[in-house]
Structures are given as C-alpha cells and as structure tokens.
Amino acid sequence: MVAAGLRISGSTPDGTYVEMVELPDHPHFIGCQFHPEFKSKPLEPHPLFSTFIAAANEHGSKRRAQKEIAEVEMFHRPEKVSRT
C-alpha cells in the first residue's frame, strides 16, 4: 500500500504498529488508531477535527465558486439563432 501512495505518518515508539496513515494527494484523508475525540472540547477541538472542518470548508467554497462561474458563463453564452 505504501508503494501505491499511502504514507505511514505515525507509529508506536518502537515502530511495531502503525498509528496514523494519510494520502498526500488527497485534500484530507487521515486514518488514526488513537482516539482524538477524548482530547477534544467544544471550544478546543483536537487538530484532526479542526483541520478536517477547515478542509471541508475550503472544498465547499471552491465548489460554490465553480458553480457560480458556470452559471454566469451559461447566462452570458449567446444562443444560436438561425435566420431563414
């Protein structure tokens, strides 16, 4: 799996077990064996949660911008009118 692009980004101190993996080319693909929710508070989330929300917000903003551009282009695109 590592040869296909999966990155082992965290392991136990002795290197026996994988604790975290990620896909570098993905906007936010992280897998973890530990439980970050136990260290989170409503106003102090674990970085895994806050970075996930930030990545989702950025992705949504980009998609909304692309949709708006497509709608404007469709609106300004002249219709072909045939004169017979």
pTM: 0.60
Percent of the chain residues topping a pLDDT of 90: 46
Q: How far, in Å, are 5, 9, 49, 53 from residue 18 at the CA level?
A: 15, 8, 20, 25
| pLDDT computed for residue 28 by the predictor | 81
At residue 49, what are phi and psi to the nearest 5 degrees?
-75, -45
Q: What is the mean pLDDT of residues 17-36?
A: 89
Give the C-alpha distances (Å, rounded to integers) separating 14 from 10, 11, 18, 30, 44. Answer: 11, 8, 10, 21, 30
Over range 30-56, report the average pLDDT: 90
In the predicted model, is pLDDT for residue 52 greater than 80? yes
Per-residue model confidence (pLDDT) at position 16: 93
Per-residue pLDDT averaged across 15-23, rounded? 93
